[in-house]
């Protein structure tokens, strides 16, 4: 199955997807970053994957940026669009175009802590557990149906940094696994709030 991966940063999730690509039957056609000089682009280049920078600051509006992003993506006709640390809010036009084909990984146990600074929020709230989720992307930010999650314990002396590192390690296991379910045709988005795995609502 063909995929395009969108990134904005270091790309450690991208790396885990690259490392597992053959096993999970994914051919990464292109990696697109909205920031130049991010290590994720080097990871793509090292794996001989075509990569592009689309600097959002060079566009007049979110709509214009997303339109160009769609143009770039469509050059590759992907079956799946994988958000791997892509730090941009997408327009409704974009989301509708690839409805049911866009996955994201988010570093919290959704519906807790959508948005940013999730690790600190979990610590400040005194939570015993934190983690990461993979979900289908819908119009609601970090609000599409959750497909799977991994938990980590929050230790008494935990900092946002140590917690982020622990969660990231789990993300690297979780994301390729869920992408594999997708490439096997086992995952379907039914509507804004519901998805199925093997025909069962999850």
Residue showing the smallest CB distance to ligand GRF in the complex: 85
The total number of residues shown for the chain amounts to 202
Catalytic residue, candidates 106, 119, 135, 172: 106
CA 145/CA 103 separation, integer angstroms: 10
CA 91/CA 199 separation, integer angstroms: 29
Looking only at residues 77 through 106 of this chain, which bind ligand GRF when binding is defined by CB under 6 A? 84-85, 105-106
Joined together, the tokens standing for residue 28 give 């990464």
Other Cβ atoms within 10 Å of 141 Cβ, number: 13
Size of the site for ligand GRF (CB under 6 A): 15
Per-residue contact string for residues 25-54; x = within reach of ligand GRF by CB under 6 A: ---------------x--------------
Give the three-class secondary structure for 44: helix
Q: Does 142 bind ligand GRF (CB under 6 A)?
A: no
Catalytic site positions? 106
Interface residues with ligand GRF (CB under 6 A) are 9-14, 40, 84-85, 105-107, 132, 168, 171
């Amino acid at each position: 199955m063909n995929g395009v991966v969108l990134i904005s940063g270091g790309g450690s999730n991208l790396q885990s997807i690259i490392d597992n690509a053959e096993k999970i039957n994914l051919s990464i056609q292109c990696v697109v970053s909205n920031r130049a000089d991010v290590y994720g682009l080097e990871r793509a280049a090292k794996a001989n994957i075509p990569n592009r920078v689309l600097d959002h600051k060079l566009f007049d509006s979110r709509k214009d940026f997303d339109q160009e992003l769609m143009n770039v993506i469509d050059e590759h006709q992907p079956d799946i669009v994988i958000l791997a640390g892509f730090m941009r809010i997408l327009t409704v036009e974009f989301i509708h175009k690839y409805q049911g084909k866009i996955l994201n990984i988010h570093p919290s146990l959704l519906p807790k802590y959508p948005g940013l600074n999730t690790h600190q929020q979990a610590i400040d709230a005194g939570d015993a557990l934190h983690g990461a989720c993979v979900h289908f992307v819908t119009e609601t930010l970090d609000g599409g149906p959750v497909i799977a999650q991994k938990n980590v314990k929050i230790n008494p002396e935990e900092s946002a940094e140590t917690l982020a590192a622990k969660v990231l390690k789990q993300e690297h296991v979780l994301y390729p696994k869920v992408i594999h379910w997708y490439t096997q045709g086992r995952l379907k988005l039914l509507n804004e709030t519901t998805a199925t795995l093997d025909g069962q609502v999850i």
